[in-house]
Structure 1
Amino acid sequence: MEHRFPSISPFLELIEQERRSPNKIILRDHTSGVTVTAGQLLYSVSLLRNKLDKALLHNGYYESEHNGEKFIFLIAPPGVQYLVSMLTIFSLAAGMSAQSIVVRPEEVKAHFKVARPIGLLYAPAFAQKAEAIKKLCAESDSGIDPNLPYVEIETSFPGSFESHTYVLEEPFETDLLRLGTLFFTSGTSGAQKGVVHSYEALLASARERIETWKLTENDVLLNQKPGNWMGGIFGIIPSLMAGSCLETCIDVFNPKWFWERISKGDVSIFDIAPTGYDRLAQYFDEHIAVLPHAQKEKYIRGMIATRCAGVTGSLIQPRIQERWTKLRRGKPLLNFLGSTEVTLICNMKWENPDYPDMCSVGPAVPGVEVKLVEGEMRLKAPTMFSHYISDDPAQTRKAFDEEGFFKTGDCAEKVGDCYVIHGRANIDVLHFWGFTVHTGEVENALSSLPYIANAVAFPIEDEKCQERTAAVLEIKPGFQARQPDLQRIRADLKEKTGLFLFKYPTVIYWLREGEDIPETSNGKISKKEARKKFFGDRWQHNENLEILDLKGMEYWRMGGLS
């Protein structure tokens, strides 16, 4: 049986891989326990494409004039069903819009209205959710095509491939390569937007990753991210093109599972958020550090063997970098800076990393042009998104300056050839009595105090001084009985850190037992949600907060240390 595929990556590489090493595992789905070769993946893509193709044909899609872009929505967890669906969509020259597996039907309906998709693929486990979406969109006033095909994902792996051959079709025309993915931003730092990448941009990003990471078919990439964000496919396409083994594990990933997996010593690359490293360190201290030396060394050697232990999602604090560099015996964690709009922007290189600031994000990756305008990072890159999908037709135009640079909203400074990120302008930078405060610097200073386990700082509005520095603090175990007050914290910041007085927090909230700081599904702290949860609009009347009275403070002394 002959299976035909478009003459583009990663189909080119997958067919070559199937011919050269037919038994090589290229995907290990830890959630389902399934392993897949290149041939098995291609076979499943071919079957699902036929099924989806028939559904589109039955709907009359090929006979109709479909104005606009062709998006196919996807609801599936990262793993074999996700990869088969992703490649199926690409093979039909359509754009993939992967949705969160916990997305509400109302959200999908809203996304449907904006993107006007031609179909929805869903994993069998989400049949009920798909039915709820279908029912909601069938309402007379929904404005959505009532005949939109909903197709359940099927994967099938034959026992023998002797009768199966894989061949390439004619190359896609250039205009068909203009559509790759549609991802909706997380909304953690602004209004949610639909971000469109061309297929050419996806491939440019993948080739950059292969070169920077020196990916080969001997490598193993551990991916524990959801598939509805750009970061979720960040390593998928490069892995398929390089013939590496991609391991997906979002449903089983936890500190215990991670340490057991890393102890095998064959993981080449992974990346998680800073909060994830804190949890891994806590598990190490409680369960691994107490083991006999030989057993403990197995876990440490596994971490050292990892070529790229990456940090993504938010800014890394010095204490985290120092802890893990020591654990990895001189090999630091590597910061990766990326965004939905640009994919990877900067990263610390894994070969002999030595930077003036080991909490920087390193230099810009090849092909990315950076300029700083009044502290804001602006970018041009071949991996740049093509446009936003939004009710506001001017939204894409407003995202770029007159020279065509994308306005990221990230505050940064250049140190040597590296970039130090101070956070988002709308949540990580504040103005207190005319002074500019970067919350990352405040968080680092607070976290250096011996009794602080975790610190998150953000601005809250105050008509008297414009904005105040507020902080949510978590006390370390063993210090609960002598929890300090705000005055003690400010005194300790003065004695133990070099933080200027105007940067000290003037409002704090202590986390209580059982409380958590809100996070996204990717382990990234949601500062917008945290500020709303712990402070709110009427924070001045919140009895759970410690609030410093500013009446006795001398404005002109704010710029100093005391």
Structure 2
Amino acid sequence: MSESFSPELETGAPLEGMEAFESINDIIADACRRFADKPAFSCMGQTLRYRDIDRLSDHFAAWLQRETDLVPGDRIAVQLPNVLQFPVVVFGALKAGLVVVNTNPLYTEREMRHQFSDAGAKAVVVLANMAQKVEKVLDQTEIRHVVVTAMGDLHSWPKRPLINFAVRHVKKLVPVYSLPRAKSLREALAAGGRHRPEPVASRGDDVAVLQYTGGTTGVAKGAMLTHRNLIANMLQTQQLLGDTLDEGAETIIAPLPCYHIYTFTVNCLFAMTTGQHNVLIPNPRDIAGFVKTLSRTPFSVFVGLNTLFNALCQRDDFKALDFSGLKLTISGGMALTQVVAERWRTTTGNGIVEGYGLTETSPIALVNPPASPQIGTIGRPVPGTSVRIVDDEGRSVARGERGELCVKGPQVMKGYWNRPDDTAKTIDEDGWLRTGDMAMVQPDGYVKIVDRKKDMILVSGFNVYPNEIEEVVAGHPDVVEAAAVGVPDEETGEAIKLFVVARNDALDPQVLRQWCKKELTGYKVPKFVELRDELPKSNVGKVLRRELRDESAAPST
């Protein structure tokens, strides 16, 4: 190791403003007071101003406190897409001192059962479209309170009943369910509106959110993100972008799901504290509908990821939009490719600022400076954050050498929920978090990811863990063993390829994909399946996934 090399790469800028807020509730109160009359969130043509968010979240908090037996520290699962109900419910739960468990609305029953049970959730708020799944797993969890909301519940009359009628009876997107003890969100808000919420003195070290991730291993674990963690990351983002954006004047497009930590921090926290207007997109997969929304909405900030940028730039209707007001495009969740970045700049006239982070870092740890981004790197550490690159023995390596990226800062999680052993493997006694990603520091101080130490697969910005897929596939009676790896894919960044040793030579790969669809969310279902006589293994019998990845440059079906 070079003696002149410092084992820590400092940002050179201390984090400012941490002393101003003790909890996220302080941020909500401050933002709603300063920006009361400004638009906060819009969705499907309806807008809630900051004062509306404050009032409605107060009502929900009061209902939780007065009409249920929930107490501060209890966990509430929030299983909502990008609808106006999301910020109301989340901020209301936090005001009541509850811990929010962000839950993917597309989860299968098996995935829901695991997350609800592992978190010990005692309440759930769910969109009616997914309520049938909650019904099926409810008696296998500790959940005592269920709140159901329909898509248009926070829209004004007469649009509200029209939206809900169309979703339920025309599009038939609400399967029949029976939850006789459930409350509708509108009922809860009405009941809560008769009371004032009692202030809860949440402290900085209190857990605010359980954000589930596979971490550096396959089993889904709840990252304990404290009020201090989330406030730090919000302020880090604000400090980085403060010269780029005007307070209370920007319109931010939010197509990525709010239950994902990336959007949760950027749109629900950073944008709130700076008084910005967030436009929530419930279904960005409906690209035509998404572009139509953009055509009616002058916007100045776009938050997305590589695959979405690529899909939009292929469309003539997107290219025809007016991008004259676009100030900033932010990319995260997966690697940004040079070709997509150039395509976006050609289409919009705007460059892309790429960041890097993990659920365990709330999530932003490094980012390209907006004034001098370098495509192909993840930039520099955000304010108040240090990084270092270490070898397999944990020793720091010199600039230009490869090793595992480690991060230390106020945004690093408290630990994994009820998993002290996993926490100790990920965060050392000095507070350094091992990311599992291999990186190097360039001579100019920018950091570049060069490989992935862990086997996690990144599909459209979502973490997929091979162990989970392999466990599901192993349950098929014709499967002897299986291994899942990520392979390059133009649409999703990476796609899942499954290698299977079968008992039955006539086993149809499509049968296995259908088997997976019953147990796994859509993005976790293998796109490619290859039957093999055997899988490559180490001398101790461990399947060599890396060897399979190396062989898979040209996936076969």
Q: The TM-score by the shorter chain falls in which range? A: 0.5 to 0.7
TM-score (norm 1): 0.64
User: Which amino acid in the other structure matches residue 367 of structure 1?
Assistant: G
Aligned to 1:314: 334
**Deviation string, structure 1 residues 229-261 (Cα, Å, up to 9, x no partner):** 212302211112211101100325544344444
Larger radius of gyration: 1
The whole-number CA distance in structure 2 between the counterparts of 1:534 and 1:54 is 56
Name which of structure 1's ranges 397-406 and 179-188 shifts more when overlaid on structure 2: 179-188
Structure 2: stretches of 5+ with no match in the other structure: 1-22, 158-192, 392-402, 459-465, 467-484, 492-509, 537-547, 552-557
What does residue 541 of structure 2 align with?
none
1:179-194 to 2 correspondences below 5 Å:
179-185=207-213, 190-194=218-222
Q: 2:131 — aligned with what?
A: 127
- Quote the Cα distance in structure 2 between the aligned partners of 1:529 and 1:188: 21
Partner of 1:410: 437
Q: Identical aligned pairs, as a percentage?
A: 17
**Match for residue 8 of structure 1?**
26
1:37 counterpart (49, 54, 72): 49
Q: What does the per-residue CA deviation read over 1:264-308, in whole Å, with 9 as the maximum and x for residues that have no partner?
A: 673222232222222122224xx566xxxxxx4xx2x51x63222
Q: Assess if the C-alpha contact under 8 Å between 2:78 and 2:100 holds in 1.
A: yes
Q: 1:179 to 1:529 in 2, by over 3 A?
A: same
Counterpart contact for 1:265–1:306, Cα < 8 Å: no
After superposition, where does 1:118-517 map in structure 2 within 5 Å? 118-134=122-138, 136-137=139-140, 144-145=141-142, 148-153=144-149, 172=201, 174=203, 178-185=206-213, 190-214=218-242, 215=245, 216-234=247-265, 235-252=267-284, 254-263=286-295, 266-284=298-316, 296=320, 299=321, 301-302=322-323, 305-329=325-349, 331-342=350-361, 343-350=363-370, 352-355=371-374, 358-374=375-391, 375-390=403-418, 392-415=419-442, 416-427=444-455
- Equivalent residue for 2:529, pick from 530, 533, 547: 533
Displacement, 1:45? 1.5
How far apart in 2 are the matches of 1:265 and 1:123?
Answer: 26
Question: Is the CA contact (8 Å cut-off) linking 1:185 and 1:193 kept in structure 2?
Answer: yes
CA distance 1:6–1:179, change in 2 (3 Å): closer
**Cα gap change, 1:326/1:199 in structure 2, threshold over 3 Å: closer, same or farther?**
same
CA distance in 2, matches of 1:244, 1:156: 20
Secondary structure of the structure 1 residue equivalent to 2:454: coil
Letter in 2 for 1:109: R
Q: TM-score, normalised by structure 2?
A: 0.65
- Partner SS, residue 68 of structure 2: helix
Tell me the amino acid that sits aligned with residue 111 of structure 1. Answer: Q
Partner of 2:88: 84
Q: Which runs of 5+ in 1 are unaligned?
A: 138-143, 290-295, 430-438, 440-457, 459-468, 476-511, 541-546, 551-562
The amino acid across from 2:57 in the alignment is V
Report the CA distance shift for 1:189/1:326 in structure 2 as closer, same or farther (over 3 A). farther
Residue deviations 1:193-214, cap 9 Å, x none?
A: 2111001211121122223222
Q: Which residue of 2 aligns with 1:73?
A: 77
Residue 106 in structure 1 maps to residue 110 in structure 2: yes
CA RMSD of aligned residues (A): 4.1
Matched, 1:25 2:39: yes
370-379 or 381-390, which deviates more? 381-390
Measure the CA separation in 1 of the matches of 2:102 and 2:373: 37
Structure 1 equivalent of residue 476 of structure 2: none
8 Å CA contact 2:252, 2:303 repeated in 1: no
Q: Secondary structure at the match of 2:27?
A: coil
Which structure exhibits the higher relative contact order, with contacts defined as CA atoms closer than 8 Å and separated by 6 or more residues? 2
SS in 2 for 1:10: helix
Report how many aligned residue pairs link the two structures: 415
Partner amino acid, structure 1, of 2:42: R
Equivalent AA in structure 2 for residue 25 of structure 1: P
Letter in 2 for 1:182: L
Change in CA separation of 1:319 and 1:345 when aligned onto 2, cut-off 3 Å: same
